[in-house]
Amino acid sequence: MPITRSGMRNQVIENLSVVAPPGEQFVACAHGMTGPSPWVDGLIGGLGALIMQMFRDYYFVTLTNTSVVVNRAGRIANRPKEIVAAIPVASGAIGEVRKGKIWGKIYIQFPGEDKPTKINVHRIWNADLDKFAAAAASNAHIPGPTAGQ
């Protein structure tokens, strides 16, 4: 079970490498959850927070040189599961990226959905959020991968 950010990223890239077309470059990867701000869980606490977790969806969002790939993530083990969507970056899949002190947000436009889905992302993924923000700002230019991440 991957615990570190790099361990989770490596597992996602390993799974996607099997289905990715030749020449696909992995740029950034972030783990997050849908629903209201995670701060709400701390405010309601106890059983209420546990119930709130039941209504959240967990995802890995991966940016490649051509696409945004969204995988489901396990609730407990944080393992990548099936691919939910693979959306061309040029289509404007990344609507907006907001970095916060603890929790940032990525807004992903899923095909067939009326409005973008908000995915809350913890600050340990901030370096990756910067790359998502660059892709959102300029769909034509995707930043290259950095070594060691």
Q: Quote the number of domains for the chain.
A: 1
Q: What is the pLDDT of residue 3?
A: 65
Which residues make Cβ contacts (< 8 Å) with residue 124, sequence separation at least 6?
Answer: 5
Residue 20 clears pLDDT 80, i.e. is over it: no
30 belongs to a structural domain: yes
Which range of residues forms the domain containing residue 62?
A: 5-137
- What DSSP designation does 145 have? P
The size of the chain, in residues, is: 149
Q: To the nearest whole percent, how much of the chain has pLDDT over 90?
A: 34
Confidence of residue 141 (pLDDT cuts 50, 70, 90): very low
Distance of CA 125 to the CA centre of its chain: 9
The CATH number given to whatever domain includes residue 126 is 2.30.29
Per-residue model confidence (pLDDT) at position 34: 92
Say which residues have a Cβ less than 8 Å from residue 110's Cβ, sequence separation at least 6: 70, 84, 85, 87, 116, 117
The 8-class DSSP code of residue 111 comes to T
Q: Is residue 100 assigned to a domain?
A: yes
pTM of the model: 0.80
Q: Pick from 76, 87, 68: which is nearest to 33 by CA?
A: 76
